[in-house]
Amino acid sequence: MSADKSALNPGQRTAALKELASQEFDILVIGGGVTGSGIALDAISRGLTVAMVEAKDLASGTSSRSSKLIHGGLRYLEQYDFKLVREALQERELMVTTQAPHLVKPVPFIYPLTEKVRERTYVGAGMALYDVLRGLKRALPNHKHLSQKRLHEIAPSLRVDIVTGGFQYFDAQVDDARHTMMIARTAAHYGAVIATNVSYVEAIRTGRRVTGAKVRDELSGKTITVLAKSTILAGGVWTDSIHDQLNIKPSYSVTMSKGVHIVLPKSAITSESGVILKTPVSVLFIIPWADKWIVGTTDTPYIGDPREPLADHDDVQYILDQANKVLTPKISEAQILGVYAGLRPLVTRKTNSPTTKLSREHIVDHPLQGFVSIAGGKYTTYRVMAEDAVDVAAHDLRRKTVESPTKEIPILGAEGYKALINRSHLLAQEVDLHQTQVIHLLNRYGSKISDILDLIKENKSFAKPLRADLPYLIAEIHYAASHEGAMSVDDVLARRTRLSFETDDHAMSLAEDVAKIISPVLGWSAAARKKSIESYIAKAQTEIRASERAMSATTR
């Protein structure tokens, strides 16, 4: 396998399992979402020894099911949560400029108005504050007022009989699963030991101190004892169950809130900009996503199985109803290509709080020596959350540690990205690709595009698209298994690409082709290959049935 230290693949995983069993780490991270991956990067960049284990795939939970936005949270201004908004906006600027410009892209949004004077004054003051709170470093344009005529030119689908004008402002967009995976790869590049499909079993205690954890390799079933001076739990919606297992009473509890999104074809809405709508309980985003629209989200309490949250008819109906208040023609359930649901781990010290009222700020708890947990927060502020968690865990190391340097550490692929964009036409000539294909690759891999181009140079067939109507190349599917830690058809179709919700059949027709490409990399037998295909199709069919039930109920 590759000698690239950042590469995540079967050979790297085998080596990681041996390291987990053979050394004591300064920090053991439980959970491979954006927060856990950020913690691993923060700790390793301080010169600490670090291991991170994830029970499934990187970003397999909440971190792959967000609104795909890097934003300050305009609606939190109404809740006077200025600290959270300022923090998020500053992180947004950092990601767009230096940390991850290849992955995090500015995107314009329209805030439509239905009143001519009072609402414009009120919202305009909020927009001005939103601009001010981001500080002096401003990579994105300031907001601007739009007349009804200008707004209609930008977004013809907004109803002129209701919308009297509006504002345009900028936030940013990200492929959340890809971004999380690249953070984990960056941590691995600097020496963190990363192992997926490794689940937490129980804590190891020495007296009143936690000195590590027993974990289980889900592929072999073997239990591994991992020693660590401090264990940090970044378990998201699983946090409470692990606290219960440890028999500890933390300073907070986690309440699950379900967020549902629908995916529409580009033809469903005519607009050059995204749209944000204020709803009775929250906000609704209409978000451009390549040649699709993502519309959402809901914010409702959830008490079901956290492993596979599914949308119901109320979720879909709510999204359609709110969007159709301002759209013409109205969007319908017949246009929906896909539906996905995720769970927010919201923190609270009170019981029975509506999830829309719970704080999006995070809490770091240190209930036992050698054990730290973190929950809550926003995807946008993952780096700050990671820094805070490692700051607390550092007390268990009994030695001085340096401050977090992650503000200055770019995510893998960021360095050199802008120069490569300027050379995209030359890169295209090197491997006989169209320039748009090279730009597609640069916006997924940044300077690591060299890995993809090397694969194409070695095997010309890798330059072909997975399917003629899709942007993803065969090289990308191969690379997902050889460098990005994909270990199943689901990993590739649901997270390394987003084909599971970008195609109208949940990419089931692509499962066999994907399995054929990654099988040699993963060393699969014919039986293992068949099992991965069947597992993906079964999951996709479950999601399709849930979506169909949800959508059919809207027509009753």
* pLDDT value of residue 550: 62
CATH of domain 92-172+255-352: 3.30.9.10
* pLDDT value of residue 76: 81
Are the beta carbons of 174 and 68 closer than 8 angstroms? yes
**C-alpha–C-alpha distance, residues 478 and 494, integer Å:** 15
Query: For the segment 437-495, what is each residue's pLDDT rounded down to a tens digit?
Result: 999 999 999 999 999 999 999 999 999 999 999 999 999 999 999 999 999 999 999 99
| 223 cis-preceded (ω within 30 degrees of 0) | no
Architecture of domain 417-553: Orthogonal Bundle (1.10)
Instruction: Tell me if 92-172+255-352 shares its fold with 417-553.
Output: no
**C-alpha–C-alpha distance, residues 316 and 457, integer Å:** 46
Regions of the chain short of the pLDDT cut 70: 1-2, 350-360, 549-556
Query: For the segment 132-150, what is each residue's pLDDT rounded down to a tens digit?
Result: 988 777 889 999 999 999 9
- C-alpha distances in Å from residue 164, one per residue of 75, 113, 151: 21, 6, 9
* pLDDT value of residue 360: 59
**C-alpha–C-alpha distance, residues 102 and 108, integer Å:** 17
- C-alpha distances in Å from residue 380, one per residue of 78, 236, 364, 386: 19, 15, 17, 12
Domain locations along the chain = 10-62+177-252+356-408, 92-172+255-352, 417-553
Q: Which CATH class is domain 10-62+177-252+356-408?
A: alpha beta
* pLDDT value of residue 553: 55
